[in-house]
Amino acid sequence: MNDAWAVGSSHGTTTSSRTLAEHWNGTSWSIKATVNPDTRNNRLLGVSAVSSNDVWAVGYYDINATSLNDSATLAEHWNGTSWSKVATVNPTVGSYFYGVTTIAANDVWAVGQYFNFGSNSWNTLIEHYNGSTWAVVTSANSSTLDYNELDTISAFSSTDIWAVGGHAPGDGSGNLGTFQSLAEHWDGASWTVVSTPNPATGGNAILGVNALEANHAVGVGYGDFVNGSAPQEGEAWDLTLGGSTNVVLNASASDNAFLSVARAADGEWAVGY
């Protein structure tokens, strides 16, 4: 393996964060210059490659120094020589990208969330790149009043894609109930919520996903019990359109969580803490 990317953010001498991308050439990691649209916080949270000269990284950047939630989606593209910012859509002032997957040069998906001022709630955000422009694709939400967030996305094909995260019931006034796992599936025509189990009584979330085969993916994340009265547990979901199952996987008796999952020759690997 001589061509891999990692993205994130870094802090210099100020409190503002700057986008960060590093490349592995088979021997060492090196920093590649990225774009920072604003002088305030800029972050990259996901990366995916079509080829060595066609790589996408997504995240968000602050657009208001006084408001925490005034942010815009950020998509950057690597053409084999440099990173450049590509225009995305922001449904409101308060839009975020958290994950991205690439299928082809004209078939790229990004997921996140945006703040819906009409219902005073957070809605899922999914956008698609068709080779020339990014556009919002209607996605599913547990409820118009709920908090909804999609953290990552994985594609088996252009008509078989999974996006995962979490949601919590809301009352329209900013008060939220217990977080529950959220999984959505794209069949080539629409995004629909897929039912997922929630074994932990205090909250559940799916933070990583990997599409395995047709209509089948694995998700990983965590569960937490009420008021922290028991340790946080690592969890894995077997995601299928016909009904998903869940298992608890803990490395210790203390807090556990999985953040990402990937396919390998002999199965699946999950990492976290």
The most distant pair of C-alpha atoms in the chain lies apart, rounded to whole Å, by: 53
Tell me the CB-side half-sphere exposure of residue 21, using CA atoms within 13 A. Answer: 26
Tell me what pLDDT residue 67 has.
Answer: 65
pTM of the model: 0.94
Collect all residues with Cβ–Cβ distance below 8 Å to 62 and sequence separation of at least 6.
38, 40, 41, 42, 70, 71
pLDDT in tens, the chain (273 residues): 899 999 999 987 767 899 999 999 999 999 999 999 988 899 999 999 999 999 999 999 998 766 666 899 999 999 999 999 999 999 999 999 999 999 999 999 999 999 998 888 899 999 999 999 999 999 999 877 789 999 999 999 999 999 999 999 887 677 888 999 999 999 999 999 999 999 888 899 999 999 999 999 999 999 987 666 678 999 999 999 988 999 998 888 889 999 999 998 878 999 999
Question: Could you give the 3-state DSSP secondary structure of residue 226?
Answer: helix
Tell me what pLDDT residue 47 has.
Answer: 98
DSSP at 227: G
The two three-digit tokens of residue 266, written as one number:
């002999």
